[in-house]
Each structure stands twice: as C-alpha cells, then as structure tokens.
Amino acid sequence: MPEPIRLAILASGSGSNAVSILEHFQTLSHVEVAFVGCNRSSKKAAIYERTRSYGIETEFFSIADLQEGRLLKIFREREVEWVALAGFLVRIPADFVRAFSDRMLNVHPSLLPKFGGQGMYGLNVHKAVIEAGESESGMTVHWVTEEYDEGAIVFQATCVVETNDTPELLAARVLQLEHTYFPRSIAACIADKTER
C-alpha cells in the first residue's frame, strides 16, 4: 500500500472549510492531513478549537514565517505534498507558489473571474455580487498563482441570488457549496495527478 499523500491546510478564520476537508479525508486512506495552520492567534480564530475535536492541533504561523520561507521549510521537513487554502486571506509568496506548482488549491466565494482580486473576500464579495444585480453566485476552486484569484479554474458550483438576499444570507448558501465541493475537488485533483 503506498504512503498517503500529505496535505496541508492554511486558514485565517473560523475553519469551517478546514473541518469539511478533515471530515472528507478521515475516511480516505490515500490522503492524510499533515498540517493545519492559521496566521491569526487562537483568540481571533475559531479554527483551533474546531480542529482539536478531530485530533489535530492547528499551528499558528506569522505572515513573516510565510514570507521569509520558514513555513516552507516546515512543509519540507514534514514532507507536505499538497496545500489547500481554506479561507486563507494572505497572498502566497512566489517561492511558495513555485514549490507547490499544480499542487495548491484555493476556494473563492464567487464565480471567478467575477468578484475576485485584492479585497474580495468574505462579506465584501457577497455585498459586491448583490450590488451588481447578479442573478447567480457561487464558489470557485482554482489553482493558486502569484496573483489573487487568477489561477486556472478547477470547479465551480452556483446558487441563485434571491431578491431579498443580504450579504449574510448569500454567504451562508455559498459556504454550503464550499463545504460540499472543495474537499471533493481536492480529492479529484490529487487522484488525477497521482494516476498520471
């Protein structure tokens, strides 16, 4: 039996997408979550408590750790092979992108290329979608590049924008799509690359 693929998850907030990934891969022996990290402290992010119930301690790292290569060094030491950005709000440095070229995926709460780029995260995205009068929104899984939200699209799922939607209501529906399809997209991409 081959060794499982080692996956790292990076997040900045509540960790709900991280938990959906953990749940998905709990039952699959070919992928192991080897690292969960957050760039905000346990006082500011709920992910630490959430992953603990899955037997995984979320580890804090600073923006400097990311930008100056210390996090990349940790990943190499732990033999991390794939990275999932699950609500991670920091630009990934070029050397990190190169190290995980075609092995790093992000989930974004809109139908890219619409409503992507710097500042387009969280409720900002859903507010912009509603204000633009869009009839549908959704989520996008894409490969990570050095630019925000510009990597090739892997998967999209849509939902209707209701006439009485608030950013919060729309966000909740899009988040459900993320929880359902982001883990499946990661698994499909890993399977595709592994089988080649």
Q: Which residue has the higher pLDDT, 193 or 46?
A: 46
The pLDDT assigned to 41 comes to 94
Compute the Cα dihedral for 176, 58, 108, 117 and give only its sign. Answer: positive
Q: Residue 141: helix, strand or coil by DSSP?
A: strand
Structural domain that includes position 121? 5-195
* CATH number of the domain residue 134 falls in: 3.40.50.170
Active site residue 179: no
Distance, CA of 130 to CA of 189 (rounded, Å): 31
In the set 108, 126, 142, 179, the catalytic residue is 108
CB 155 within 8 A of CB 181: yes
The pLDDT assigned to 194 comes to 79
The answer on pLDDT for 148 being more than 90 is no
DSSP string, 88-126: --SPPPHHHHHHTTTSEEEEESS-TTTT-STT--THHHH
pTM as predicted? 0.95
**Tens-digit pLDDT profile for residues 87-117:** 999 999 999 999 999 999 999 999 999 999 9
Average model confidence (pLDDT) across the chain = 95
The answer on pLDDT for 193 being more than 90 is no
The pLDDT assigned to 1 comes to 65
The pLDDT assigned to 170 comes to 98
Residue 128: phi, psi to the nearest 5? -65, -40
**Tens-digit pLDDT profile for residues 160-173:** 999 999 999 999 99
The pLDDT assigned to 22 comes to 96
Residue 39: phi, psi to the nearest 5? -90, 5
φ/ψ bin of 79: left (φ > 0), alpha (ψ from -120 to 50), beta (otherwise): left
The pLDDT assigned to 3 comes to 87
Distance, CA of 196 to CA of 187 (rounded, Å): 15
The pLDDT assigned to 196 comes to 59
Instruction: Please state the domain count of the chain.
Output: 1
The answer on pLDDT for 132 being more than 70 is yes
Q: Output the six-digit token pair for 140.
A: 């996008």
